[in-house]
Structure 1
Amino acid sequence: MTEDKEFQKLIQRINELAHKAKNEGLTDLEIIERKELRQKYLKRFREGFKSQVEMMRVFDKSGKEVTPEKVKKVQRKKGLRND
């Protein structure tokens, strides 16, 4: 829950800086801060996306599992599959 609050604060500050950049411009320090915040956001987004892909199972129309072998391998390594 704490991470969610931190993430929301991160997004809020990014949005504040974006609004300020559009309306009045940013100081050099704010430009640096914006860059750092964007990097933190992207890192967190990528981690979450990777986690979702690793948990995913894909099935074709006939119900046969067609999850890519690379994903299956990661799932086996993490103990998420028995096959």
Structure 2
Amino acid sequence: MPMKILKGTVISNKMNKTVVIAVERVFQHPFYKKTIKTRKNYKAHDEENRCQIGDVVEIIESRPISKDKRWKVLRIIKEGEGQ
């Protein structure tokens, strides 16, 4: 089965080798047909600590690395302004 790939923005890089990615999803409500925007946070493994706050990255599903870390940073798509 192919692994899922998601695209999101780095919102925290305070942990060692871990970043928090906010992934936004836009969909239409099945009954009311209103457009809904939801955001979910994922913890992803960043081996070289390269990601900065504001970067747009791709993450890929992986085996469990820790209690709540099941994603790895695949690549940095666009570098943000950083802090």
TM-score (norm 2): 0.20
Structure number having the greater helix percentage:
1
Could you tell me the TM-score, scaled by structure 1's length? 0.20
Larger radius of gyration: 1
Query: In proportion to residue count, which structure has more strand?
Result: 2
The higher relative CO (CA closer than 8 Å, separation ≥ 6) is in: 2
